[in-house]
Structure 1
Amino acid sequence: MSDGPSEIVMELVSVAALAENHTIGRDGELPWPSIPEDKKQYRARIADDPVILGRRTFESMLDDLPGSDQIVLSRSEQEFDVVTAHHARNVEEAIELAESLGAETAYVIGGAAIYELFQPHLDRMVLSRVPGEYDGDTYYPAWSTADWQLESETPYERFTLQEWVRTDRD
């Protein structure tokens, strides 16, 4: 029996939709026609947990905010007119904030710079793989299959949902 406090272990999961060439966006929008079935499963997955996102992604979702709380990474100290929005200056602060909310899982939902910053910290990736290559200006970061294992693949009509688990941690 341990004398020290028990440590809360929160799972950090990245959720994204990406084309075969890792494109995730163009001019702030999806580069492919809307896939309602993907949006539905995505929204259901993240509905009851905190999400971590960048300021521009947060602002683009203000009309329909995802997650139970939004942890917004921004270089400048900011206040938000949304009671569930919290400011974080860096990755460590965002993770601490999510843990302080009592979350078992926190979802990283973009944009591209946020995905890149959190990639080394992720435990899992849930990726909607959209067939085809699309022109874009934002991309999901590459990952080494030596560090990740494809745990499951579920085909849908216009995308395949993949769940990847990090294998390079004890």
Structure 2
Amino acid sequence: MEIVLVAIVGRNGVIGADGDQPWHFRCDLQHFKAITRGHPVIMGRRTFAAIGRPLPQRTNIILSRDPAFVAEGVEVAADAETALARAQAAAGGEQVMILGGGAVYRLFLPRAHRVELTEVDDAPPGDTTFPALGDDWRETARDEAEEDGYRLTFRTLTRRDG
């Protein structure tokens, strides 16, 4: 199973502020849908709350330590191992997409095979950041777009061998 982190991030590493993303771009949403559709997604409870509903055409697995947490149309897992097992058993489970937030990205980064990163040429204030990737990643694809006066770079990074 390939573990893929999917995120939109500012120059300063910010991915969130007050439980939401700093930006909402149509081109990033289209890119996000193309990458994640048909594959199980894992996200934290607060990320799920920010989205507000299960993502269609994907098995939605929510990580929560709260044993009382339930939501219609999603599966709940108390830990990473349970979440990964459910993702692998789901349709499209040869790849699992990790959608955040910050703590969830940090939890899965050591196991990740690929990162799909939308970089925004902006440095907004925020309270949630994406973890530093380090030198064990290499860029394997890049595309660029502009929307609402912002430059966006879509990067695919894969973990280097060894």
TM-score, with structure 2 as normaliser: 0.89
1:88 is aligned, of 64, 67, 77, to 77
For 1:7, the equivalent position in structure 2 comes to none
- Which is worse superposed, 23-32 or 56-65? 56-65
Kept in 2, the 8 Å contact 1:51–1:66? The answer is no
Per the TM alignment, residue 122 of structure 1 is displaced from its structure 2 partner at its CA by 0.5
Q: 1:60 to 1:124 in 2, by over 3 A?
A: same
- Equivalent-residue separation in structure 2 for 1:159 and 1:38 (angstroms): 8
| Other-structure match for 1:162 | 155
What are the within-5 Å matches in structure 2 for residues 14-163 of structure 1? 14-32=5-23, 34-63=24-53, 65=55, 68-78=58-68, 80-83=70-73, 85-102=74-91, 103-145=93-135, 147-157=136-146, 158-163=151-156
Q: 1:84-137 CA distances to partner (integer Å, 9 max, x unpaired)?
A: x11111111111111122511110001111111111010100000001211111
Bigger CA radius of gyration: 1
Q: How many pairs were matched up? A: 157
After superposition, the C-alpha distances for 1:53-73 in whole angstroms (9 at most, x for unaligned) are 001111222346255111111
CA deviation map 1:14-54 (0-9, x unaligned): 0000011110011122224x211111111232121110000
In 2: Cα distance, 1:124 partner to 1:17 partner: 14
Contact kept? 2:20, 2:50, Cα under 8 Å = no
Kindly provide the amino acid, as one letter, of the partner of residue 66 in structure 2: S
1:156 alignment partner, SS class: strand
Mapped partners of 1:77, 1:67: distance in 2: 26
Gap regions ≥5 residues in structure 1: 1-9
**Percent identity of paired positions between Structure 1 and Structure 2:** 35
Instruction: Return structure 1 stretches of 4+ with deviation > 3 angstroms.
Output: none
CA distance in structure 1 between the partners assigned to 2:57 and 2:63 by the alignment:
15
**Aligned partner of 1:16: which letter?**
A
Q: Which amino acid in structure 2 is aligned with residue 99 of structure 1?
A: Q
TM-score (norm 1): 0.85
